[in-house]
Structure formats: structure tokens, C-alpha cells
Amino acid sequence: MPSTDAAIRKRAQIAKTNRVMFLWIAVSSAVIGVCIVVSIFLAQRLFYNEAVLAKKQETVTTLIKNLAAVDGLKQEIRKLDANAALLAARAKDDDRAVRVVLDALPSEANSLALGASLQNRLLSGVDGLTLQTLQVDPVAGVEVIDTSGMTSGAVSSDGFSQISFSFTISGNQASLKKALENLERSIRTIEVLSLRIDGQSNGVQEMSVQGRAFYEPARTLEFSEVKV
């Protein structure tokens, strides 16, 4: 009988020890799991903070370079404002000379403005010159013509940067030469692609010109979020 009681006590002690060991193992596993999760979280935060600091440093470096270039840009603009050729090409006397540079390469594909410039400024006021035909083609996919006949330019990322035009004028040799000189002196960037001169029986010559003018779509500055 005593041996039986001793065996029962031993089995009870073994069972208790097993339960205690199980609890210790369970607690240890939970603690280790929590430590692993916390370690992974801290590592991710560390890498994230390092990436943010790197991006901030890039921004600071860019700002420092931009600030260092401001004085040089101001000096170049002052030189342009004192440029005699630009001052002589101003549309208005109160315009700054640097305005001529901006007008030379418009930010919109306004074909009507180009047509008006050709008709009223470059091809008019020349003695003995007659404008017979003038055609300025709206830029496909960029300009929209409404029912009133007005065109409106839109910034496009399709790579359109030129406006095609053609005209026919007639006159003597001196007047035709003067018209070409006006095109050459225009503040707009104009390229003559083809030119044909035909003589007539009355001594008047007829000149047909095909060319193109250029524009540069305005750039938009936007701030965006960067995921790191």
C-alpha cells in the first residue's frame, strides 16, 4: 500500500512538473514572439527614417544649389534688360527687354496670333507689296476652334511645337526682299521651308512661301508625395 501511494505521488509530481514546464515554454514562446515582432517593427522604422532623412538631404542639397544660382540668374537678366537689340524689338516702350525673349517663343499654340502678326506687321506696310493669300494651320490635337472662329491653345504633351503657315505675295523685287527681311527680323522664331518666285507679264513677281513658327508649352510646377 505504501508503495502504491508513493507511485501516485510521483505521478502527480511528474504531471505538475509537466504543466509547469508547459507554462514556462508557452510564456517563453510568447515573449520571444513579441520580441521578434518588436524587433522587425523597429528595424522597419529605422529603415524608413533613414530613407526619409536621405530624401530630406537631397531636397536640402537641391535648394542650396538653387539659391546659389539666383544671383547669377539675376545678373544675366540685368544683361538682357540692357541689350540694345532686345530694347529695339519691344512691342511696347514700357515692356522690359527680357519680354522679347518670352514673346519669341510663346507658351501656347495660338495660330490666330501668328496669322495676325504676319498680316498686320510682317507683310504689311511694304511699298509695292500685295498680300494675296495667307493660311495658318491650327495645330492638330492642341488648338480647338469654336463657332466664333477664335482659337484657344492648350498645353499638350504630344510633342507638338510648331505652327505651319503659307502665304502668297506679289510685288517688285525690292518689296519681296523687304518681306523676307521682315520675316528674318521677327522676334518670333520663323523658319522658311520652301520659297517659289514666279514672274508675270506686267513685271510684277509673285512669291509663294511655306514656313513654320515655333512655340514651347509652358511647364507646370507641381508638388507630389514620395513614398519611401
DSSP SS3 for 139: coil
99-114 pLDDT, tens per residue? 887 777 788 888 888 8
What φ, ψ does residue 107 adopt, rounded to 5°? -90, -5
> Residue 128: left if φ>0, alpha if ψ -120 to 50, beta else—which one?
left
Checking if the pLDDT of 139 tops 70, the result is yes
**Ranges of each domain in the chain:** 1-72, 104-214
Cβ-contact 160, 214 below 8 angstroms:
no
The per-residue pLDDT for range 39-76, each reduced to its tens digit, is 888 888 888 888 888 888 988 999 899 999 999 988 98
Q: Please report, for residues 119, 134, 185, 189, 208, the alpha-carbon distance to residue 176 in angstroms, rounded to integers and kept in the order given.
A: 14, 15, 14, 20, 10
DSSP annotation of 122: I
User: What is the share, in percent, of the chain residues with pLDDT greater than 90?
Assistant: 14
- 30/11: higher pLDDT: 30
CATH topology of domain 104-214: Alpha-Beta Plaits (3.30.70)
pTM of the model: 0.56
